[in-house]
Amino acid sequence: MLRTDLAGVIQRSDYTPPAYLIDTVQLDFDLAPDVTTVTSRLRVHRNPAGPGGDLELVGQGLQLVSLEIDGKPWSGYRTGDEMLTVEAPPQAFELMLVTRCRPQENTSLMGLYVSGGNFFTQCEAEGFRKITYFLDRPDVMATYTVTLRADREAYPVLLANGNLIDKGDLPDGRHFAVWDDPFKKPSYLFALVAGRLVCREDRIVAGDGREKLLQVWVQPQDLDKTEHAMHSLINSIRWDEERFGRVLDLDRFMIVAVSDFNMGAMENKGLNIFNTKYVLADAATATDDDFSNIEAVVGHEYFHNWTGNRVTCRDWFQLSLKEGLTVFRDQEFSADMMGSESGRAVKRIDDVRVLRQAQFPEDAGPMAHPVRPESYVEINNFYTVTVYEKGAEVVRMYQTLLGRDGFRRGMDLYFERHDGQAVTCDDFRAAMADANQRDLTQFGRWYSQAGTPRVTVDAVYDEAARTYTLTLTQRCPKVGVELQDETLVKQPFHIPFAVGLLDRDGRDMALRLAGEASDTSGTAASTTRVLDFTQERQSFTFVDVPHTPMPSLLRGFSAPVIVEHEYTIDELAFLMAHDSDPFNRWEAGQRLATRQLLALVESIQMGQLPSVDSYVLEAFRQVLRDETLDPAFRAQALTLPAESYLGEQMTEIDPAAIHAARQYLRQRLAASLHTEWLAAYHNHRVPGPYQPDAASAGERALKNLALSYLMELSDAGAAQTARTQYDSADNMTDRFAALTALVQRGGAAREGDAAHGPNHAAEALVDFYQRFENEPLAIDKWFALQAMQRGDGSHCVIDAVRALMRHPAFTLKNPNRARSLIFSFCSGNPAQFHAADGSGYRFWAEQVLALDALNPQVAARLARVLDRWRKYTPALRERMRDALQQVAQHKALSKDVREIVEKALA
Ligand code: B3K
Ligand code: ZN
C-alpha cells in the first residue's frame, strides 16, 4: 500500500462497480444566465454486479428543488457533502429531479457556463455533477434525450448531442429544441450549446454509404476562418475509414468554437466543443503551426468518437486507454497528412521533442506517475503529458512490436469485444495480445511503472568471427510516489529497440542475428531490426558483419527511453551525415549540440571564456547547405535543444548559465554561417499566395529560422530585413516571425538609441496591436511574445509582464489570455522567470492564488511550473520552496492546487 499524507486520495485498487445503473436520461433545460433550471428523469435499476445499498448521486453547487420517484414525491433522501442519497429505492424506478444552477457565476468553466453571452458545457472529467445530481462516473452509460428551452432572440441556436428530433416556438419569446443521442454514453460526454452562432456546413457520404451533415459553429465574425477546420474534419473522417475501418456513426457531426475554455477541445458525442485556438484560422491571423495544430486537434477529437466514446474508460485511472491511444492516432494522422517520408520524420521529431521537454521532466519529478496512475486527489491534475504523450508512445510500441497489420488486428478485436463498454488498459492489451497470439504480460509494466528507463549500450566487434554484439542494459530508478513504497521493486520493461548498422561508407548493412537462416527474405534481410529487449541485461549478436559497423540506436525513437551511449564526436558527425533513419540523423545533431552547450554552460559557470568547437559549426554548416534535405527537416536539425531540455541534462539546473550558453552558441552559429543563413533566407521565400501545406510551411520555417539567426548579430541590415518582412508579409507566419525576430534582438544589439536608428521592435509591437485589436488569438500571441522576450541587465521582463497585466485587453478570467501572458513568462522564459532575486517566484505565487479563486484547473497547471524545484541550484531552490510554502499555507486552496504544491513539497 502506498503511503500518502494527502487528504481525499482516490486509489485505483478501490474500484467497485456502481450500485445502480441508469438506462435512459431525459434532461430539460430552462436556460437563463442567472438561474438555469434542470429537470432530469432517469430510468434507474439496481446493478446486479454492484454492492447494493442506497442510491448515492453526486452534485456540486446545485439547489435541489424537488425529487420524485415513479411520479410521486419521495421524502426518503438526504443531501450533504456534494451528495444526494436516495434511501432504499425500489429495484427499478424512474427518478425525477429538479435542480437549479448559476451559469453566469461559473468561472471554473466546468459544468454549464456562459462565454461571450452564449451557453456552453464542459463535463469531462467530473463537470456533469455541476449540472444535475448523477452517477457521474464513466462506467455508467445511458442514452440521452435533451430538451433545451431559451429566449429565441438571445439564443437562436440550441445544440446538444446526437440528432435534432423536434423544435419550435414557445410563449413569451422563447423557443425549444429536442435532441436525441442514440448511442449510450457516460455523462462526461454530455454537451449543450446555446447562443448566437453561425455555421459552415458540408455534407459527405461516409463509408457506410450514408450522407452525413458536418457543421462548424462559431461567432458570426469568425465564419470566414472555418474552412481549414472543416477540411481537417473531412480528412479525419476519411483517414479513420482508411486506416482503421472506423466509420462516422452519427448522421450529424458538429464542432463548436468557444473562446473561454480550459483546454484544447472536448470530444462530446457528436458535438465537439473547441477552444477557438484550435478552430479559427486564416492566412492573416494564424501561423503554420496554428494550421497544423488545428488539423491535429480536429483529428484527435474526431478519433475519440471510436477510441473514447464508443469504447470508453471504466474509471479515470484508465484515462490513457482513450488519451494515449487517441494521441497516437492523431500523430499518425498528421504524419500521413504531411505527404512525404521526410514530412513524417519531421512530425516524429516534433512529437519526440515535446515528450523530452515536458514528459521526461514530469517523469523525474514529484508528480511522476505511471501511464495508468495508482492514485489521485483531483483527476483533472492527471490529464498529463505522461497519460497523453507517453501513453501514445506505449501504443506506438504495440505497433512497432506487432507491425501495422498486427496492430490493426488488435484494434479490430478491441472494437469487436468492447463496443459500447467501459473498459480498462488491460482489456486493450489483451486484445492486442490475443489478436496476434503474443504474450504481452511483461509489456504491461509500461502501464504500472513510472519513470524513464535508461538504456546503456556496449558494442563488441569480433573480427575473426565476423560478429557484432550489442549488449543492452536497462535501469529505471524509483520516482515520484514510488519512492514512498518500500516494498516496490521495479522490473525490466519490454522495450522494442530498433537498430541499424552502417558500413564504413555510411550505408545500411543487411542484418542477420545469430541463429537466423541466411537466405531469408523479409525481416532478416532488412536493415532496421527491432530487438525484443526484455531483460535487465541482454546481448544481441549480428553475424556476417564484414567490418566494425557504426550502430544507429533506437531508430525512429522506438521506445520512450534515454539511450546513454558515449558516441565520439566523429561518430556523431558520421551519423548526422549518413544515417538512413532521418530521426537519428536529427538525433545525432542534437547530441552534438547538447554536448557543446553543456560544455559552454560549464565554462560560463566557472567564469572562463567560452569557446565553440569548429566541428559543431561545420556539422551545422553541412546540414544548412545540404539541398537534398527537406527545408523542414533542416529547420528541425538547426534548432538547438531547448533550455528546459538542457536543464534536465544537468545535475543542478542553472537557468542563467544555460540561457547564456545557448545564446552564445546561437551567436557563433549566426556569425560563422552568416553567408549560408543569408542564402537560406533568400532562397526559401515562398512565391504566390499563402498556402498552409507542409512543403510551403517547411520553406517558411527554414527562412524564418535563418532570419532569427541573422538577427543575433548586431547588424542594422538584418533589422531592416525583418522590418520589411514584418510590413510586407501576407500571412501571420511571416509577420509574426519577423516581429519575434525584432523583439528577441536583445542585449548588445538592442536598438532605439542614436547608434542604432529606429526602434523597430517597439514600432512593430504597436502596429501589431492596432492591426489585430479585434482578433483575440492574435492578441494572445502579442502578449506571449512580450512575456517570452529576452532581458538584459537593465531590462527585466517581469516589469514588462506586470505592466501588461494592467493592459485593458488583459484578463485572468480568459484562460487563453492568462496562459499567453502568465504561463508564457513562468514556463516559456526560464532565464527571466528564475531571476536570482526570486521576483519570478513571488509573481508565480500571486498568480496561482489569484487564478485559484477563479479557476482551479488553470491555477493547478500554473502551480506545476515549480515541480522541479529540487533540481535547481541551491539559492534558487530555497526561494522556490518559499514560494511553494506561501501557496501551500493559503487557507482557501482548491484541491487541484493543494495536490500539486503538497506533492512538490513532500
Ligand atoms: N478529453 C478532453 C480533455 C478533458 C480534460 C478535462 N480536464 C480533451 C481531449 O483529450 O481530447
Ligand atoms: Zn483526448
Asked if 510 contacts 491 with a C-beta cutoff of 8 angstroms, the reply is: no
Q: Is 300 in the pocket of ligand 1 (CB under 6 A)?
A: yes
What CA–CA distance (Å, rounded) separates 769 from 281? Answer: 18
User: Which whole number is the average pLDDT over 459-478?
Assistant: 98
What are φ and ψ of residue 883, in 5° steps?
-65, -40
Say which DSSP state 694 is in. H
Q: What is the 3-state secondary structure (H, E, C) of 159-228?
A: EECCEEEEEEECCCCEEEEEEEEEEEEEHHHCCEEEECCEEEEEEEECCCCCEEEEEEEECHHHHHHCHH
d(CA 643, CA 309): 38
Name the residue at shortest CA distance from atom 10 of ligand 1: 323
278 and 424 part of one domain:
no
What residues have CB less than 8 Å from 439, skipping those under 6 apart?
Answer: 433
Q: Which three cell numbers stand for residue 193?
A: 450549446
Beta bridge partners, 497, equal 531
Do residues 252 and 380 both lie within one domain?
no
Domain co-membership, 268 together with 400: no
**383 and 479, same domain (yes or no):** yes
SS3 313: strand
Q: Is residue 108 part of a domain?
A: yes
Q: What local confidence, expressed as pLDDT, does residue 745 receive?
A: 87
Residue nearest to atom 8 of ligand 1 (CA): 266
Q: 72 pairs with which residues across the strands?
A: 69
Is residue 769 situated within a structural domain? no
pLDDT tens across 291-302, in order?
999 999 999 999
- The mean predicted confidence, pLDDT, of the chain is 96
Distance 97 CA to ligand 2 centre (A): 31
The finding on whether 630 has its CB within 6 A of some atom of ligand 1 is no
3-state secondary structure of 73: strand
Given the CA of residue 264, which atom of ligand 1 is nearest to it? 8
Q: Supply the CATH number for residue 459's domain.
A: 2.60.40.1840
Q: What is the pLDDT of residues 543-567, one digit of tens each?
A: 999 999 999 999 999 999 999 999 9
Number of folded domains in the chain?
3
What percent of the chain is modeled with pLDDT above 90? Answer: 95
- Nine cell digits for residue 311: 469504447
CA of residue 319 to ligand 2 center, whole Å: 9
Q: Give the global pTM.
A: 0.98
| pLDDT tens-place string over residues 2-23 | 444 567 999 999 999 999 999 9
Query: Tell me: the pLDDT tens digits for 715-764?
Result: 889 999 999 999 999 999 999 999 999 999 854 345 455 455 679 999 99
Tell me how long the chain is: 906
Q: Which residue has a Cα nearest atom 5 of ligand 1?
A: 124
> What's phi and psi for 885, nearest 5 deg?
-65, -40
Report the SS3 class of residue 878.
Answer: helix
Question: Is 582 contained in some domain?
Answer: no
If 0-12 CB within 10 Å is exposed, 13-18 middle and 19+ buried, where does residue 903 land?
Answer: buried
Model confidence pLDDT, tens digit, residues 171-180: 999 999 999 9
Tell me, yes or no, whether 732 lies in a domain. Answer: no
In whole angstroms, give the CA distance from residue 821 to residue 506: 47
Ligand 1 centroid, distance to 262 Cα (angstroms): 9
**308 shares its domain with 351:** no
User: Do 363 and 290 fall into the same domain?
Assistant: no
Same domain for 497 and 395:
yes
How far CA 631 is from CA of 69, 351, 574, 680, in Å, comes to 67, 18, 20, 9
Q: Is residue 581 part of a domain?
A: no
Segment 127-143 shows an average pLDDT of 98
Q: What is the CATH number of the domain that holds 44?
A: 2.60.40.1730
Q: Of 312, 333, 356, which closes a domain? A: 312
Lookup: cell for 543 = 553475424
For 491, the domain range is 347-516+525-557
Distance 427 CA to ligand 1 centre (A): 21
Smallest CA separation from ligand 1 atom 7, residue: 380
On whether both 420 and 542 belong to a single domain, the answer is yes
Which domain CATH number covers 876?
A: 1.25.50.10
**Partner residues linked to 149 by β-bridges:** 30, 176
pLDDT at residue 793 in the model: 67
- Distance (angstroms) between ligand 2 centre and the Cα of 203 equals 25
Q: Which ligand sits closest to the CA of 307?
A: 2
Q: Give yes or no: residues 360 and 295 share one domain.
A: no
Q: Which residues form the catalytic set?
A: 301
| Confidence at 484, pLDDT banded by 50, 70, 90 | confident
Ligand 1 in contact with 267 (CB < 6 A)?
yes
Q: How large is the average pLDDT for residues 262-282?
A: 99
Asked if residue 759 is part of any domain, the answer here is no
CB 391 within 8 Å of CB 331 = no
Give 252's contacts (C-beta < 8 A, 6+ positions apart): 162, 163, 164, 212, 213, 214, 215, 270
Q: Among all ligands shown, which has an atom nearest to the Cα of 138?
A: 1
> Which cell numbers in the block locate residue 589?
545533431
Cell numbers for 147: 430538451
